[in-house]
Amino acid sequence: MTTITNEPAVRTGRGSGGEVTGVLSELAEAASARSGVPVELLDGYPHALLTVARTGRGLSAEQEATCRRLGGQAVAMGVGLPALVAVHMHASRRLWSRLPELLTAVRERPLRPTELVGVGEAVWRAADAALAALTAGYVEAQRLVVRREEEFRREFVDDLLTGRSPIGPLIERAELFGLQLSGGHLVVVVEDGQPIDSGSAVRGSVEEALRARFATRGLLVEAKDGRLVCVVSSAPGGDRAGDVGDQVADLAGRAMSASVQQGRWRSGIGRPYAGPRGVQRSFQEAMEALETATRLRLPHRVVHAADLLVYRVLGRDEAALADLVRTVLEPLTTARGGAEPLVETLQAYFAAGSNAAEAARRLHLSVRAVTYRLQRVQELTGYSPGRPSQHLTLLVAVTGARLLGWPRRQLVSE
């Protein structure tokens, strides 16, 4: 068997234990220098292989545990798995070339040719077991790092969107995610037919799509309460804030649909504000926009908080709004089939610009059925949808009914 001629020979006889240890250390140092990996990540490995060669037994449980520990240590030191495997393979090859003289030194007798095959099989089985343990330790440690990072990210997003954290530390933490909270940001909230969690592939695909488009902007994408929250810088850069919000909503919605194959996404867009509390305010507006659009059964995929301000005004005095709905629309509950079909017809009629034919198309009814229902509204309430002086009262009452969930929900008492 050939040996590496530029390495010192191993003396045999008494006192050779120290010589063997020195050679093993030199082998580890050489493998470390060759691969550029710290020698600490070879802790005890050459000695373990030599023990296997001497005894014919595999790695002990303690030695495999050491390999798993080294795998985790490599993650902490920022050493990649390929480099970790490479340094151990370099050490294995260097040890193999010196194995006959090392075994002669520790056994104090030459290695017989008939023993070589068995020794080789034992050593390379042990090397395979060591690499498997190293990889397992590395993957386990890496998963732990990912879980910690995800937890840190979720905690930051919760603190940012709820305002529970002091502003100073929040700004410092935001910089780790590429956000400069002193500037302006807007929030886009996207929902689909199924809940989304932070570890899902959906979040990753949406973030990838957005970063490809907004590479120069601060951006954070995270799941919260089953929805996807996108925080994006609204700093001037040629695009208006509203345009940025529309682009984020469209890209996020399409990426989400491609991942979950639902196609039922809807986005709420808050207005841009400066500072950490501005992000919180924009998030609240985006959430309110989604909730309002759901209550009003708006057909739009993208809803802007700025376009729904009038509904926020209506909803601020729920008692007064309930009183209006009760006064104007409660007579509809006496109709055959209840108030729901008539309220639905009024909403479609107003949404169609007071066009009965278009309302009929949207409701999948005949024009005659729609005009009959509108006539019943006038008969029961005394308000005519087609009379300009009564149009606004009916429109606000119907909008209030949707905001309050009436007639499916009871109105608040006076």
pLDDT tens digit sequence for 171-196: 998 988 888 888 899 999 998 877 88
| C-beta separation of 249 from 210 below 8 A | no
Q: CA–CA distance from 304 to each of 51, 74, 188, 263, 282 (Å)? A: 70, 48, 9, 20, 11
Q: CA–CA distance from 80 to each of 30, 57, 155, 221 (Å)? A: 19, 30, 28, 27
Q: Is the dihedral of CA 381, 384, 385, 390 positive or negative?
A: negative
Residue 32's pLDDT is what?
92
| C-beta separation of 98 from 31 below 8 A | no
Q: What is the mean pLDDT of residues 132-158?
A: 91
- Please report which confidence band the pLDDT of residue 147 belongs to, taking 50, 70 and 90 as the band edges: confident
Contacts of 158 (CB under 8 A, 6+ apart): 164, 224
Helix (H) or strand (E) holding 205: helix 201-213
Residue 410's pLDDT is what?
83
Helix (H) or strand (E) holding 233: strand 227-233
Q: Angle 157-160-162 (CA atoms, 0-180°, nearest 5)?
A: 100
Tokens 């780790």 sit on residue: 176
Residue 241's pLDDT is what?
59
Q: Which two tokens stand for residue 388?
A: 């300009």
Residue 97's pLDDT is what?
87
Question: At 99, phi and psi to the nearest 5?
Answer: -60, -40
Q: Which two tokens stand for residue 28?
A: 């580890």
Question: What's the pLDDT tens digit per position in 358-401?
Answer: 999 999 999 999 999 999 999 999 999 888 888 888 999 998 88
| C-beta separation of 194 from 260 below 8 A | yes
CA distance 80 to 135: 11
| C-beta separation of 276 from 170 below 8 A | yes
| Domain limits, the chain | 16-145, 181-311, 317-404
Report the CATH number of the 181-311 domain. 3.30.70.270
Helix (H) or strand (E) holding 394: helix 388-404
Distance of CA 354 to the CA centre of its chain: 44
Residue 103's pLDDT is what?
86
Residue 125's pLDDT is what?
93
- Contacts by residues 236-244 (CB-CB < 8 Å, ≥ 24 positions apart): 241/184, 241/186, 241/271, 241/272, 242/269, 242/304, 242/306, 244/186, 244/214, 244/217
Q: What is the mean pLDDT of residues 275-280?
A: 92
Residue 10's pLDDT is what?
46
Q: What is the mean pLDDT of residues 88-111?
A: 86
- Please report which confidence band the pLDDT of residue 68 belongs to, taking 50, 70 and 90 as the band edges: very high
Q: Which residues pair with 231 in a beta bridge?
A: 187, 220
| C-beta separation of 279 from 315 below 8 A | no
Tally Cβ neighbours within 10 Å of residue 391.
Answer: 15
Count CA within 13 A, CB hemisphere, residue 125.
14
- The DSSP output letter for 352 is T
- Please report which confidence band the pLDDT of residue 1 belongs to, taking 50, 70 and 90 as the band edges: very low
Q: What is the mean pLDDT of residues 330-336?
A: 91
pLDDT at 12 over 60: no
- Please report which confidence band the pLDDT of residue 283 belongs to, taking 50, 70 and 90 as the band edges: very high
Residue 86's pLDDT is what?
94
Contacts of 65 (CB under 8 A, 6+ apart): 133
Question: What's the pLDDT tens digit per position in 106-136?
Answer: 777 777 777 778 888 999 999 999 999 999 9
- Please report which confidence band the pLDDT of residue 3 belongs to, taking 50, 70 and 90 as the band edges: very low
Q: CA–CA distance from 225 to each of 33, 158, 187, 192, 222 (Å)? A: 50, 10, 15, 12, 10
CA distance 375 to 5: 105
The predicted model scores a pTM of: 0.65
- Please report which confidence band the pLDDT of residue 263 belongs to, taking 50, 70 and 90 as the band edges: low
Superfamily per CATH, domain 317-404? PucR C-terminal helix-turn-helix domain (1.10.10.2840)
Q: What is the mean pLDDT of residues 255-263?
A: 69
